[in-house]
Amino acid sequence: MLFLLNDRVMDIETPEARVLGRWRDMGCGDPRQLRAHEAVEFVKAKLTPSDRVDVPVDDETLKDLAALVISKTGANSLILKPTPAGDFELRLQDVPPLVLETYRRGAANDQDQRRRA
């Protein structure tokens, strides 16, 4: 399943199985006990910058977080939009798969062009 996380499209295979296999590494607690809003808040806390030094999140962790959102909400898109107050507003959406595939191809082309420059 394709998932849009901010400006990045990822392919997440069997999200529920991924979450059940990796929840201890993620630190989210037993996912069977999480409600959708708790899972989304957990992901927000992992992804939003804080006063501490920001450490980039690795690809596998991003996929884990995306799988958690998919399995608990059914959404295939999570956007963290900065607010004037300095916080982040969460936007969960169900984006048509064709749109995500088109965006992914376009982003890949942009990266190739930047590498050549």
Residue of 46, 59, 52 whose CA lies nearest to 38:
46
Nearest 5°: CA angle at 35, between 33 and 39?
100
Q: What is the pLDDT of residue 22?
A: 94
Q: What is the pLDDT of residue 82?
A: 86
Q: What is the pLDDT of residue 48?
A: 81
Q: Which domain holds residue 63?
A: 2-116
Q: Is 98 left (phi over 0), alpha (psi -120 to 50) or beta?
A: alpha
Query: Would you give per-residue pLDDT tens digits along the chain (117 residues)?
Result: 999 998 899 999 999 999 999 999 999 999 999 999 999 999 998 888 655 555 678 899 999 999 999 999 999 999 988 889 988 888 999 999 999 999 888 866 655 555 555
Tally of structural domains, the chain: 1
